[in-house]
DNA sequence: CGCAGTTTTGATGGACCTCAAAGACCGTGG
DNA sequence: CCACGGTCTTTGAGGTCCATCAAAACTGCG
């Protein structure tokens, strides 16, 4: 049980608007839980006895069809929220992509607390609206972008987010880890893993990116990468 | 200015949890506004001076790329909400698909009211979570379904929603209007209008649907239609 | 009727999927 | 240390679904 005062996501999580009293209440119903990379957190249809904030690591939210086709519908990063007040059954599969630490809240008391304090509810509304925006952004990618643009967009987003973690803008020469396997990227982008691999090879061959080892990506010219995404060079990204 | 007491969406709209006092306050900041089919409501980047509920008709929410590729990211039906408290600029194009009536609230006072009353905020949270679910459902369709399954899914959803309007389950022989042009369907499904047309012709030829005139669709065997969507026959649809 | 917008249908090509095999990486155990 | 298996990745060859280009048919309307 970690202390909220040293929590790395305290300023962005669902509890970020809470005052000291509310944090005390939350403290009483929370517990930490960890998962190794690859482990499932929830299966679609599971009964959920908690809601949670991602403290560290990355989780994926995915839907599967009966024949095995899979579409990732969200990447859960530190401070993102898992679960929905008022809902019992998990609608999607949640899997730990990297080693993962969650700050879980027992669902029932969390819902009661939410009904009593507007701080939790209003922050959750903000976060949900943000997620809706990124889901819609992703719909454009899935429906209208080429394989080439899809990969470039994903890399641009990962680079941007990685820079944001250090409170910077993505710069030329920026390097970041690629936390996803080819298959996970394919499931996120609505492609096959072979196509993902080919497009990455092509970006590498054309000098848009460089690979240091298998997991580290270097972007020598960020504007060049952006120009491959199909988005407006300036705007495009909302979040 | 219509009376809330006779409003057709009073039990589902953002104001559905409001008590009489709150409705009085809302009444003072609201106004009706109508659009003909095809008319734009908002362009991406516009300054928004109102938020609104759809009272009657259908609007589309769409993103466009510079080269003209367009992806619809939402269909706004009666009781759906337009706009986001706390945001100034419209992120998407909103267009009236059919004749459309909105119940608009001046944005600033609406935000103030929302900060004061949890009723509005909690209903909006619910609605936003529902929209997030359908956006994610749509991501699976866009990323992983075939053209064939996409069209079938759209028709199944339209049939289901139409039945829900009369508080029924979709039944064999159910008929409904197709409010979208081929192009609008294509933009929603991430296809070209030619592909949409061909798939509809194929469904018609195989007897899965019948067309009465140009706009009316009859579904002789609803289970048959569902089996063409690629979804679980039973569950699949969340909303 | 003639015209503009929408829809249908046809022919062709290309982007991406599928199937297949080889190569890289990594931990384990002999 | 190297062999070995497992997982992930790359690369290749071929096929298919859907986009593209093009034109005809249909619809509604002045």
The mean pLDDT value of chain B amounts to 92
What is the distance between the alpha carbons of residues A58 and A6, in angstroms, rounded to a whole number?
A: 20
pLDDT tens, A2-54?
A: 789 999 999 999 999 999 999 999 999 999 999 999 999 999 999 999 999 99
* Alpha carbons B178 and B155: distance in angstroms, whole number: 8
Torsion B33-B34-B38-B39 (CA) sign: negative
Reported as type and span, the H/E element at residue B148 is helix B147-165
Phi/psi zone of residue B48: left (φ > 0), alpha (ψ -120 to 50 degrees), beta?
beta
Angstrom distance, B225 CA to C23 C1': 46
Whole-model pTM: value is 0.93
Chain A residues in contact with B230 by the CB 8 A cut-off are 65, 67, 69
- Measured to protein CB atoms, the chain D nucleotides within 7 Å are 8-13, 17-22, 27-28
Query: Which nucleotide shows the minimum CA-to-C1' distance to residue B149?
Result: D17
Q: In whole angstroms, what separates CA B148 from the centre of its chain?
A: 22
Residue B42's SS3 state is strand
Helix H segments across chain A? 20-29, 107-116, 118-144, 147-165, 182-189, 193-205, 222-227
Handedness of CA A185, A188, A194, A200 (dihedral sign): negative
Residue B96 in 3-state DSSP?
strand
Domains and CATH numbers, chain A: 4-134 (2.60.120.10), 144-227 (1.10.10.10)
Nearest CB partner across the interface for B124, out of A125, A135, A144 = A125
Closest alpha carbon within chain A to B230: A65
Residues 6 or more apart in contact with residue A198 via CB below 8 angstroms? none
pLDDT digit string, tens, across residues B63-91 = 999 999 999 999 999 999 999 998 999 99
- b or e along B56-66 (b: 16 or more beta carbons within 10 Å of the residue's beta carbon)? bbbbbbbbbbe
Confidence at residue B239, expressed as pLDDT on a 0 to 100 scale: 42
**CB of A214 nearer than 7 A to strand C:** yes
pLDDT band at B167 (very low <50, low <70, confident <90, very high): confident
Chains A, B: CB pairs < 8 Å: 99
Instruction: Read off the pLDDT of residues A216-239 as tens digits, 9 standing for 90 and up.
Output: 999 999 999 999 999 976 544 444
Rounded to whole angstroms, the Cα distance separating A201 from B116 reads 54
Structure tokens at A124: 């959750």
């Amino acid at each position: 049980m970690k202390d909220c005062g040293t929590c790395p996501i305290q300023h962005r999580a669902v509890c970020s608007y809470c005052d000291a009293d509310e944090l005390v209440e939350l403290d009483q119903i929370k517990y930490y839980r960890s998962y190794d990379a690859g482990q499932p957190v929830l299966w679609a249809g599971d009964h959920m006895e908690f809601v949670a904030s991602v403290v560290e690591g990355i989780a994926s939210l995915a839907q599967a069809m009966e024949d095995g086709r899979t579409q990732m519908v969200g990447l859960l990063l530190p401070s993102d929220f898992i679960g929905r007040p008022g809902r019992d059954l998990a609608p999607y599969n949640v899997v730990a992509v990297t080693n993962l630490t969650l700050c879980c809240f027992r669902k029932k008391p969390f819902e009661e607390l939410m009904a009593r304090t507007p701080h939790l509810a209003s922050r959750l509304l903000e976060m949900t609206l943000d997620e809706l925006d990124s889901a819609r952004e992703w719909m454009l990618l899935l429906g209208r972008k080429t394989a080439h643009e899809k990969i470039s967009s994903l890399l641009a987003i990962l680079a941007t987010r990685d820079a944001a973690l250090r409170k910077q803008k993505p710069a030329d020469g920026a390097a970041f880890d690629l936390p996803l396997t080819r298959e996970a990227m394919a499931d996120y982008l609505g492609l096959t893993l072979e196509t993902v691999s080919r497009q990455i090879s092509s970006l590498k061959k054309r000098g848009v990116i460089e690979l240091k080892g298998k997991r580290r990506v270097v972007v020598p010219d960020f504007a060049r990468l952006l120009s491959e995404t199909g988005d407006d060079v300036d705007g495009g990204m909302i979040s």
